[in-house]
Amino acid sequence: MPKKRQESYKLLKRHICYYLASGVVTMTMPVFVHAEETTTSAPVEAEFDSAFLIGDAQKVDISRFKYGNPVLPGEYNVDVYVNGQWFGKRRMVFKALDPNKNAVTCFTGMNLLEYGVKQDILSKHTTLQKENNSCYKIEEWVENAFYEFDTSRLRVDISIPQVALQKNAQGYVDPSVWDRGINAGFLSYSGSAYKTFNQSNDQSETTNAFMGVTAGLNIAGWQLRHNGQWQWQDTPAENQSKSDYQETSTYLQRAFPKYRGVLTLGDSFTNGEVFDSIGYRGIDFSSDDRMLPNSMLGYAPRIRGNAKTNAKVEVRQQGQLIYQTTVAPGNFEINDLYPTGFGGEIEVSIIEANGQVQKFSVPYASVVQMLRPGVNRYSLTVGQFRDQDIDLNPWVVQGKYQQGINNYLTGYTGIQATENYAAVLLGAAFATPIGAVALDVTHSEADFEKQSSQSGQSFRLSYSKLISPTNTNLTLAAYRYSTENFYKLRDALLIRDLEEKGVNTYAAAGHQRSEFQITLNQGLPEGWGNFYVVGSWVDYWNRSESTKQYQIGYSNNYHGLTYGLSAINRKVEYGSNDATHDTEYLMTLSFPINFKKNSVNVNVTASEDSRTVGASGMVGDRFSYGASVSHQDYANPTFNANGRYRTNYATVGGSYSIADSYQQAMVSLSGSVVAHSDGILFGPEQGQTMVLVHAPDAAGAKVNNTVGLSVNKAGYAVIPYVTPYRLNDITLDPQEMSSQVELEETSQRIAPFAGAIAKVDFTTKTGYA
């Protein structure tokens, strides 16, 4: 046999022997791993007798298999599991401390805090002088802790004894992990401009513009905030142009995790959970429920309505504009109101393209004051009263405290005091077999210039019950009954303000006697839909006036067809023989039409005197559109069209409406600007709690947390909203970035403070593959 062929034969034989030896060892390994798991969690050294191998296979070094699945030194992108729970993807470095043993990795104190290890266990190792950023073997941090690395699945399973873990409620994140973020500033904005051409005899034109802004500056954990709205109107026919800017709030704040509270300095609003929300200029320290785990969070209100055209929706509280947006024809929902407090009535105005205005009120109050045992809420406010409709600004002191005593009882109390006014509240909430009940009484003392001193009481009852067998959710609130001489703080100050202006306070200021609300949601058997009833009733001591309104509705879905029926009744009585009465019946239908890549949703709405047919959809994940035709009795049809496009820098939109008597065009722009130490970033959405993603040279990588967001050429992206005080998984998709760039990790977790601009750095490698 030729010498060259003989060498090739020996080399092939050696390779076969090597693979045969590896296969034999690998096949025997599961037996040893299983035995190990049934006895002890520590690694066990295994001995393999090479005498069982044949020929040249005996020369192969199989010592690396002595300690299980071999781990070579290097960096690995792995899935991390802690006691069976996935904690995300991590880039972990394994180093060979002993050339004859597997490579190992180390852990920092911050890693283990994130995994739920008790702080006192990590801090007791004073002899080693460990710090949270020091990296050590896991068994040095926590006794009997260990990990296993499955190289075939790139999975690291970490086992930590339960005695070393915090016993926390679901969703708990250790405050030491919370991130205050970087020093940065931002500006979130939402603006629109309308031009309306009246085609009637006067041929007039009107231009309106609106811009809502939230500006912020974060420095060393302190957060400066400003919220305001600018409005402009121009009417050439009347040679009139007016502009107005209204400040909603300007304040400086900082969170203090030790007290689960937030300190606020400046112009803001009180929390309205016990007393109605009021504006103040001063200082406030209040608990923040967002620092509680998910399982302990409470109630959030929503606003629902229906627009007949491309409409503008304005939301006011105590006469002050707090929110404005543009909606397409059909049903809409607002669930992102800026938090100006949780109490007090909200006025909603739907301004249609033809100038028609719908108005309705939404009660804004927490129905039941129940808290879990050991949980409390508190607030203390000292400052000057401020209200857009009242010129008086006396100093006000307000405090409240709620305490969950046990599973069945929560107690709460509060005080309000200013010059010539004081109020004290006492209340309790009970969990009973027939539902949750809250009852409180408020006593007030008020002095007026033209009236004698007035003292009275207000009683408030709340009830809530979910009847599981019938899937009935009932919220009943004989919300308040007040004696004739009881006054709320704002009502008392309004009367004193009117007295100083010489206005007849008896007729000008409404003095509420009682308010009643009821909400019933009834889920029907599967396939039969849902039924609901909402109603309210308000009357006054000093007016022969009462307001009643109710809404009943039914909705269901059948094979993709969503349909609903509703009736809305509003009645205002001004006396025994004088009243206004309005009833509206509504039917809605909605169904999708699917194409290859996109779908179009068709909507049909019909009432007594109008019909609307429309379609809406998405093209990709950036462009949305809609069009509709509306017809009212005794009028020609109205045509509406709208579109919205989400770029990497801003969201732009527009709409157009045309009818017999008018034409209207609208353009809108919204987004955010973030300024940080390395430059300026533009984003398409408004945000408060944000994350700045930095991945050098990873332009094009998609940020999975937000639709349509990708890393820019400078290696940055801004996620406009994340959940504060919660671990948020920030993940990148590298498919669209350059093939010459590699992400060393594609996922990280971060828990920012509310209002923070946190930064997440992703390490990249560049070079040709």
DSSP 297-355: ------EEEEESSSEEEEEEETTEEEEEEEE-SEEEEE-----S-S-S-EEEEEE-TTS
Contact 572, 546 (CB under 8 A): yes
Mean pLDDT per 10-residue interval, the chain, length 769 residues: 51 48 43 32 55 62 58 83 80 79 83 83 60 74 89 88 73 83 95 87 81 95 95 82 90 96 96 88 95 63 74 79 77 61 66 83 59 87 93 95 86 95 94 82 92 89 74 69 91 89 70 85 86 88 84 91 90 77 87 83 86 89 90 85 91 92 92 93 88 92 85 91 90 88 86 94 79
> Mapping DSSP to helix (H, G, I), strand (E, B) and coil, where does residue 125 land?
coil
Do 59 and 80 fall within a single domain?
no
How is residue 152 annotated by DSSP? Answer: T
* Number of Cβ within a 10 Å radius of residue 764: 22
Do 46 and 90 fall within a single domain?
no
Residue-level pLDDT at 250: 96
* 62 inside domain: yes
Q: Report the distance separating Cα 718 and Cα 760, nearest Å.
A: 10
* 489 inside domain: no
Cα separations in angstroms, 594 against 185, 597, 600, 601, 625: 43, 8, 6, 9, 15
Do 735 and 689 fall within a single domain?
yes
Domain boundary among 20, 49, 67: 67
Q: Nearest-CA neighbor of 488 among 735, 278, 264, 701?
A: 278
Q: Is 252 exposed, middle or buried (0-12, 13-18, 19+ CB in 10 A)?
A: middle
Question: β-strand 690-694 against 757-761: which pairing, if any?
Answer: parallel
Residue-level pLDDT at 25: 43
CATH number where 89 lies: 3.10.20.410
Amino acid at 400: K
Q: Quick one: tokens of 177?
A: 């992990």
Alpha helices in 440-516 (DSSP H): 489-500, 505-508
* 611 inside domain: no
Domain boundary among 118, 134, 167: 167
Residue-level pLDDT at 2: 54
* Total count of domains within the chain: 3
H or E element at residue 196: strand 184-198
Do 59 and 121 fall within a single domain?
no
Q: Report the distance separating Cα 302 and Cα 561, nearest Å.
A: 25
Residue-level pLDDT at 337: 61
Q: Quick one: tokens of 426?
A: 């006492």
* 509 inside domain: no
Do 78 and 62 fall within a single domain?
no
Do 42 and 110 fall within a single domain?
no
* Cα dihedral: 328, 331, 337, 341 (round 10): 150
Contact 683, 711 (CB under 8 A): no
Q: Report the distance separating Cα 303 and Cα 346, nearest Å.
A: 9
Separation of CA 186 from chain center? 19
Do 119 and 45 fall within a single domain?
no
Do 83 and 61 fall within a single domain?
no
Name the residue range of residue 101's domain. 74-167
Alpha helices in 44-114 (DSSP H): 109-114
* 81 inside domain: yes
> Mapping DSSP to helix (H, G, I), strand (E, B) and coil, where does residue 575 land?
coil
Do 684 and 713 fall within a single domain?
yes
Q: Nearest-CA neighbor of 415 among 396, 402, 401, 398?
A: 398
* 719 inside domain: yes
Write the secondary structure of 346-400 as one string of H (helix), E (strand) and C (coil): EEEEEECCCCCEEEEEECCCCCCCCCCCCCEEEEEEEEEEEECCECCCCEEEEEE
Q: Report the distance separating Cα 496 and Cα 478, nearest Å.
A: 29
Do 97 and 121 fall within a single domain?
yes
Do 84 and 63 fall within a single domain?
no
Q: Nearest-CA neighbor of 211 among 662, 686, 620, 734?
A: 686
CATH number where 724 lies: 2.60.40.2610
Residue-level pLDDT at 367: 44
* 150 inside domain: yes
Do 706 and 753 fall within a single domain?
yes
Give backbone dihedrals phi and psi of 617, rounded to 5 degrees, phi first: -175, -175
| Helix, strand, coil percentages for the chain (3-state, nearest 5) | 15, 50, 35
> Mapping DSSP to helix (H, G, I), strand (E, B) and coil, where does residue 77 land?
strand
* 155 inside domain: yes
Domain boundary among 135, 151, 167: 167
